[in-house]
Chains A and B, each alone.
Chain A
Amino acid sequence: MPILEHPAYPPATLLCLESLVPCRESQVSMLLSIFGERQQLSFPSIFIYGHTSSGKTYVMKTLLNTLQLPHVFVNCVECFTSRLLLEEILIQLQNGSETKQASPVPCDTFNDFVRLFKQALVSQNLQDQTVYVVLDRAEQLREMEANVLPAFLRLQELTDRNVTVILLSEIVWEMFRPNTGCFEPFILYFPDYSIGHLQKILSQNHPPEYSADFYSAYINILLGVFYMVCRDLKELQHLAALNFSKYCEPVVRREAKERDTRKLWKNIEPHLKKAMQTVYLREISSSQWERLQCEEEPGQIKGLSAHTHVELPYYSKFLLIAAYLASYNPVRTDKRFFLKHHGKIKKTNFMKKHEKTSNHLLGPKPFPLDRLLAILYSIVDNRVAPTANIFSQITSLVTLQLLSVVGNNDQLDGPRYKCTVSLDFIRAIARTVNFDIIKYLYDFL
C-alpha cells in the first residue's frame, strides 16, 4: 500500500521516491501537497528545520531530482557573500538546459538579481511551472545584508513569477525573524530519527557479499553501543563501515557462522567500545584505525590528547605561571604571597563574603601588565632584566593562545591580559621548574 499519492505524478515515480526516503514519508507527502502540480503556484517560501542529519538536504534533493522539478540548490556556507550566492543561483539556473554560458553576469544587488532572474526564467522556458530555490544552511543568510533574507522570503512577489524558496536550517525560525518583520514562511519540522528508524535506514545499505539479515544484526550491535552517545546518521554510517570488516573476521576465518550472533557479538563488542573512545572522538583518524585493524598485533597509536605537553623557554614558563597567579588570585592577596614579611594574615581575616566561591569556578580575571611583571620578578630566583625579549615573549604567549588580551589594544593605557590555560597544564609547567604553584594559589590555602 503506497503512502505517497498524488494525481500529478505517475505512481511508479512515487513508489521509487518512497523507497528512497525511508522514515520520511509523511514529510514528503506534506511537501507534495504543498507543491501541487507543476504549473500551480506554490507557497512563496517554506522553512524546514530539524536536527543535524535528520534528512533535510537529502530528502529535498531526492524529491526534486526524482520528480524532475526545475530547481536550484545552493549551500549558503559555500557562498559566503550575497553576491556569490545570487550569482550561484543564476548560474545554476542557466546551466539547467545545457546551454553553458561562459561568463557569469555580475550581480551585486538584489534588484539586479530580480531582473536577471526573470530573464533567466524566460530564456530557460520555465514560466509555466514552479521553480524551486533551495537554500541549505540558511542560518548563514542572517550574516549577509539585512535585505537578503526578507527578499528571498518574498521572491515570488518580487519577481512576479512562479517560484518557491525553500530554506533548510538546523535552528528554529524564531532565531531568524528580523526586527523589522517579514513575510512568514510555511514552517515544517523534521523530527529526529528514532532508534528504529536508524536501524531501518542503516540496514538498508548492506554490502553485496553478505545477507541483509547478517548486516542488520551487526547494525543492531553497533546501535547498542553507540546510540547513547551519537545519533548522527552520517557518523553512524561511517562507524558501521569502519568496523564491519572486524565483525566479519570470524566468519571469514570460518570460526563462526553468519548465524552465530552471540559469538560475533563477543568478538566485536570490546572493539566497538574502543572505537567509541578513539575514532569517534577523533583521537586517532579513521585511516589509522583501519590500519590498526589490519595489523595482527595491534600496536598502540597515541591519541591527540596524549600530546598535551608543551615545551616552553624558561622565562616563558615563569611568565605563564605569573599570569596564572595574577588571573586566579585576588589583588589584595598579592602582599601575602609575594612579600617576605607579610606578617600573620590568615585566610579568614581577609576573606570577604563573595570570595568564598572558588576563583577557579569563576574563571580567569584580567590583570594589567605591571602586575604580571611584578609577580614575575618575585617568583624568579635570580634577577630578571626587563629586556625586549621578555616583552616579546608575552606577545608570543598571546599568539600561542596561552594568554589572551582583554579589552582595547591601547598600549599606553597598559594592556590587560587573561591566562587561558587550565590548572593541570600550569601544574605540569610548574613542576618542570620546581615551583610549587599550589602554595601560591589563594583557592588552595
Chain B
Amino acid sequence: MSTRSLSKGCFVFKPSPKRRKVSRTTADYFREGNSDLEDSELRFATCQSLQKQVKSETEQIEEELNEQLFDNLVSFLRRSHSAFQEKTTEWTWRTKSREIPTAALVLGVNVTDHDFTFRSLSEVLQNNVTPYIALLEAKDCPGIKNLMQKLLGQLMNCCIDVGSSEEEDYEQVSRTRVRCSMTSLINWYESATKRTDSETPGKKRTSSRHWQSPPVVVIFKDMESFTTKVLQDFVIISSQHIGEFPLVLIFGIATSPMIIHSLLPHSVSSLLCIELFQSLSCKDHLSTIIDKVLLTTQFPLKLSEKVLQVLINIFLYHDFSVQNFIKGFQLCIVEHFHSNPLSILCCQLEEAKRRVNSLSHNQCENVRRLPSFRRYVESQASEKQIALLTADSSLKEAVWKLLEDLNVYHENYFPILRCLHVFTSSLPKYPLGKQIRELHCACLENRVWETEEYESSLQLARMLNKSDLVTMLQKCVEILVSSPGREFDEIVERLKEFLTQFQKLEEAYQERDESVSPQKELQKKTNLYNLQKTLLELKESRRSKKLTKFEMLRFEVVDYIDSLVRRYLVPADHKTLHEIVYFNTASVLREHLNAAPRIALHTALNNPYSYLKSEALKSDGGSISNKAPDICIAYKLHLECGRLINLVDWLEAFSTVVTAAEGPTADVASSDQVDDVIHARFIRAVSELELLGFIKPSKQKTDHVARLTWGGC
C-alpha cells in the first residue's frame, strides 16, 4: 500500500468498507447480468420452488421404484438370522457349517446412481431392521487393516446414536484405543445389545422398531473395486466368528454376479450363502421418470425436442445415470429462468393471471418481440393488430388468453399422445419408436402426420386384428377417462361406440359362420384345370371384393385416431407464446453437460480470437499472426510436424513468425543468432505446451520432443 507521505514511518490503514467481502448468495449470482431487478427476484423464487418440486417428486418416484427391492432385502435379512435368534439345537443345524448370509445386489453400471440407492437402503434398514450398518467403499479399504478400522469406526459411532448420552464420552475415549480385531467387535456387539435390552422399559420405541439381536449389516458399495485379498481375508475372519454375532454382508455389484466367483476362490465363496437381488434396469427407471415428470402438465416448464434429445442421448450413449438426467433437467430450469425474462409467466395458471396483469411496459415489449407472437399478430385483423402493438392492456388480455390456450393444448396433448403410443407401440418394427419418449420427440419436432413413419404406421394399423384393436381402444378409453382434459367426453363416447360396433360384428360373424367358404370348395376339386380356373376367379374376386364390415370399421377407427392426432398433436413451436414455457437452447445444455475439453483447448490455441476477442487476432484460416500469444504460435507450428519435433527447427520457425512484423530487415534475416528474448519466449511456450500434455521430451533423439496428440479434433 502506498501513502502520499514522503517520510518513512508507520501508517495505519483502515480497511475500506467497500472491500469487505460479502458472501454472495445464489440469488446474487442469478441476478448477475440481468437488468430487470424486480422481476429477476420473482423469477428466482419461481425457479427455486419449481426445482424443489421437481426434486421431491423425483425422489418420491425413486423411492417407489426401489420399494420392491428393499422389501425383498428386508425379508432376506429377517430370514437370514432367524435361526440365530431361536438358538436351535437341531441336528442339521449343528452339523451344517455356518455360512455368512450374503446378498448380491446387482445395481447396473450407472455407478453414479448407486449412492442414492445405498443411502435410502441404509435409511430403510435403520428404520426397520437394525441400527448397526456399515457402508464400505473400496477406496477407503486398500488393506484389511483399513477395512477393519473403518468398519469398527462406523459401527461404534452408530452405537452412540442409539445408546444413552451418559455413555457417550466413555465411547469416545475407548474408541481411540480400541483394538481393530473381530474380538473387540464381538465384545462391543454383546455390550450394545445387552444395553438396549436393559433399556427396553424406558425406550420401548427403539427396541420395537428393531428386532431382538439386530443383525450387523456390512455393505460393500463397489464390489468390483475391492482387491481380492482384502475381501478374502475379511470373509475368512468373519466366518470364524459367525456363530457369535449375526453378520450379514451386502455386495453392491455393478456388472454381473459372476464377479463374486472371479474375485473369490471356491474355498472362500463356500463360506458365503449368496442370494441374488436385482434392481430395476436403469432404462425402465428413466422411462418412469420421463413418464411421470415430463409427460404431465404438473410442471409448467416443458422441454423442447432438441433439449430432450440432448438429455436422452447423454443418458443412452454415455452414462445410463438417472441422477444425471434429473440434474440436467434441473439445469434446464435454471437456464430457462435465468436467460428468459418472460419466464416469469412460466408458472401455474392462476398465478400467471396475476403476473400477466402486473407486467411492466418493458416486459410487454419483450412479448411483442417474440417470433411466435409476431406471427400471431400478423394473422389478426388490422385494428386488432394496432391494439396489440400499441396498447399494453389489450396485449395483456391477449397474452392471458393465449396462455390459457397453451394450457388447454397441454391438457389435451399428453392423453392423446399416450393413446397414439398405445397404437404405435404394438406395431411390428415400431416405425414411430417403442418408447413413448421417442413418439413425444417425433411429435414435438414437426407435424407428425406429415412424416413417412407415421404413414407407414397408419398402414400397419389398418392391418391390425380385431382382438388387438379392441384391447387398444379399451386402453385408450381408460387413459382418456382418467385424464383431466375437458374435451374428452365426446371422444370417449365415440370410442365406446366403436367398441359396441365391434361387439355387434362378432355376433354377426357367429351367425354367418355356417356358410361354406370358397376355400373349402376348392379342396373338393382335384382336376388341375379346374383348380387353376377357380384360383384365377378367386384372385379376381379378391381384387374387386367389397370390404367386409370389419374392415370398414377398422378404417373408420384408424381415420378417427388420425383426425385426433391432427387436431391435438400439433408441435409446440407452432403454438403462440411457446417460448415462455419451452426451454429450447440445446446448445447451451450440450456445452454444460457434454464438455469437450480437447476441442476447447484446440480452439483456444488455434484461434485465440474466439476467447480473447481482440481485433488484432482476427485472422482467416491457416496463416499465423505474430500478434497471437507465444503459446498459440508454438502450438500452430507444432501441428505441422511429425511424431518427433526438432527443437532447433521449431525455434527458427518461431522466431521467423515473431519477427515477421518488423519487416524483413536484413540483419535479422542474415544472422543465424536468434534474439535472446525470443529464445526465452520460445522456451516458455514449449514448456507450457509440455505442461498441457501436447509434447514430452524424447529419449530417441537428442534435441527432439515427441508429440502426444494427433489430428485437429
Binding site for B on A (CB under 8 A): 52, 75, 77-81, 84, 87-88, 104, 205, 207-209, 234-235, 237-238, 240-242, 244-245, 281-282, 285-288, 302, 304-305, 307-316, 370, 385-390, 392-393, 396, 399-402, 411-414
Q: Which A residues are CB-close (under 8 A) to B111?
A: 396, 399-400
Please, how many angstroms separate the alpha-carbon atoms of A84 and B693 in the complex? Answer: 47
Cβ-defined contact, A79 with B109, below 8 A? no
Cβ-defined contact, B272 with A282, below 8 A? yes
Top 6 nearest A-B pairs (CB, nearest first) are A207-B91, A241-B96, A389-B318, A285-B273, A304-B257, A241-B95
Is the C-beta of B200 less than 8 angstroms from some C-beta in chain A? no
Q: Name the contact of B693 in the complex, choosing from A77, A207, A304, A412 (C-beta under 8 A).
A: A412
Count how many pairs of residues, one from A and one from B, have CB atoms less than 8 Å apart in the complex.
160
Cβ-defined contact, A307 with B273, below 8 A? no
Q: Which B residues are CB-close (under 8 A) to A288?
A: 275
Cβ-defined contact, A282 with B261, below 8 A? yes
Given contacts A79-B181, A413-B696, contact A316 B109 (CB under 8 A): yes
Is the C-beta of B616 less than 8 angstroms from some C-beta in chain A? no
CB of A324, distance to nearest CB on chain B (Å): 16
Q: Which chain A residue lies CB-closest to B237?
A: A78
Q: Which B residues are CB-close (under 8 A) to A302?
A: 276
Q: Name the contact of A286 in the complex, choosing from B99, B148, B237 (C-beta under 8 A).
A: B99
Cβ-defined contact, B95 with A307, below 8 A? no
* Given pairs A287-B80, A302-B276, A304-B104, 18 additional interface contacts (CB within 8 A): A52-B267, A84-B179, A241-B96, A281-B266, A285-B99, A285-B275, A286-B99, A304-B258, A305-B257, A310-B109, A311-B320, A386-B599, A386-B713, A387-B595, A388-B596, A389-B314, A393-B318, A412-B696
Q: Name the contact of B145 in the complex, choosing from A81, A313, A370 (C-beta under 8 A).
A: A81
Is the C-beta of B144 less than 8 angstroms from some C-beta in chain A? yes
Q: Which B residues are CB-close (under 8 A) to A414?
A: 708
Q: Name the contact of B597 in the complex, choosing from A104, A311, A388 (C-beta under 8 A).
A: A388
Q: Which B residues are CB-close (under 8 A) to A396?
A: 109, 111
Is the C-beta of B360 less than 8 angstroms from some C-beta in chain A? no
Cβ-defined contact, B599 with A400, below 8 A? no
Q: Which A residues are CB-close (under 8 A) to B92?
A: 207, 241-242, 244-245
Given contacts A307-B276, A314-B317, contact A88 B254 (CB under 8 A): no
Cβ-defined contact, A314 with B109, below 8 A? no
Q: Which A residues are CB-close (under 8 A) to B316?
A: 313-314
Cβ-defined contact, A400 with B99, below 8 A? no
Please, how many angstroms separate the alpha-carbon atoms of A305 and B259 in the complex? Answer: 9
Cβ-defined contact, A310 with B256, below 8 A? yes
Is the C-beta of B236 less than 8 angstroms from some C-beta in chain A? yes
Cβ-defined contact, A311 with B598, below 8 A? no
CB of B187, distance to nearest CB on chain A (Å): 11
Given contacts A370-B710, A387-B594, A389-B594, contact A311 B109 (CB under 8 A): yes
Is the C-beta of B269 less than 8 angstroms from some C-beta in chain A? yes
Is the C-beta of B101 less than 8 angstroms from some C-beta in chain A? yes
Q: Which B residues are CB-close (under 8 A) to A389?
A: 314, 317-319, 594-595
Q: Name the contact of A385 in the complex, choosing from B80, B254, B270, B599 (C-beta under 8 A).
A: B599
Q: Which B residues are CB-close (under 8 A) to A87?
A: 179
Q: Which A residues are CB-close (under 8 A) to B258?
A: 304-305, 307-308
Given contacts A387-B596, A412-B693, contact A400 B269 (CB under 8 A): no
Q: Name the contact of A78 in the complex, choosing from B95, B240, B267, B270 (C-beta under 8 A).
A: B240
CB of B441, distance to nearest CB on chain A (Å): 17
Is the C-beta of B282 less than 8 angstroms from some C-beta in chain A? yes
**Which residues of chain B from 287 to 335 have a CB within 8 Å of any chain A CB?**
314-320
CB of A413, distance to nearest CB on chain B (Å): 7
Given contacts A78-B181, A399-B224, contact A287 B255 (CB under 8 A): no
Q: Which chain B residue lies CB-closest to A79?
A: B181
Q: Which B residues are CB-close (under 8 A) to A305?
A: 257-258, 261
Given contacts A80-B144, A244-B92, A282-B261, contact A308 B256 (CB under 8 A): yes
Cβ-defined contact, B596 with A386, below 8 A? yes
CB of B149, distance to nearest CB on chain A (Å): 11
Cβ-defined contact, B181 with A312, below 8 A? no
Q: Which A residues are CB-close (under 8 A) to B109?
A: 310-313, 316, 396, 400
Please, how many angstroms separate the alpha-carbon atoms of A77 and B314 in the complex? Answer: 46
Cβ-defined contact, A80 with B317, below 8 A? no
Q: Which B residues are CB-close (under 8 A) to A78?
A: 181-182, 237, 240
Please, how many angstroms separate the alpha-carbon atoms of A235 and B269 in the complex? Answer: 12
CB of A238, distance to nearest CB on chain B (Å): 5
Q: Which A residues are CB-close (under 8 A) to B270?
A: 235, 282
Cβ-defined contact, B180 with A307, below 8 A? no
Is the C-beta of B283 less than 8 angstroms from some C-beta in chain A? yes
CB of B19, distance to nearest CB on chain A (Å): 37
CB of B276, distance to nearest CB on chain A (Å): 6
A-B contact pairs, 23 of them (CB 8 A): A78-B237, A84-B179, A235-B270, A237-B95, A282-B261, A282-B270, A285-B274, A287-B80, A304-B274, A305-B258, A307-B256, A307-B278, A311-B108, A312-B320, A313-B317, A316-B109, A385-B594, A388-B597, A389-B314, A389-B319, A396-B111, A400-B111, A402-B255
Cβ-defined contact, B261 with A240, below 8 A? no
Q: Which B residues are CB-close (under 8 A) to A237?
A: 95-97
Q: B195-215 CB contact bits vs A (8 Å, 1 = yes)?
A: 000000000000000000000
Q: B128-161 CB contact bits vs A (8 Å, 1 = yes)?
A: 0000000000000001110010000000000000
Q: Name the contact of A104 in the complex, choosing from B97, B106, B179, B599 (C-beta under 8 A).
A: B179
Is the C-beta of B281 less than 8 angstroms from some C-beta in chain A? yes
Q: Which B residues are CB-close (under 8 A) to A402?
A: 255
Cβ-defined contact, B596 with A307, below 8 A? no
Residue in A393, A396, A414 whose Cβ sees the most chain B Cβ within 10 Å: A396
Q: Which A residues are CB-close (under 8 A) to B319?
A: 313, 389, 392-393
Please, how many angstroms separate the alpha-carbon atoms of A52 and B237 in the complex? Answer: 16
Q: Which B residues are CB-close (under 8 A) to A282?
A: 261, 266, 269-270, 272, 274
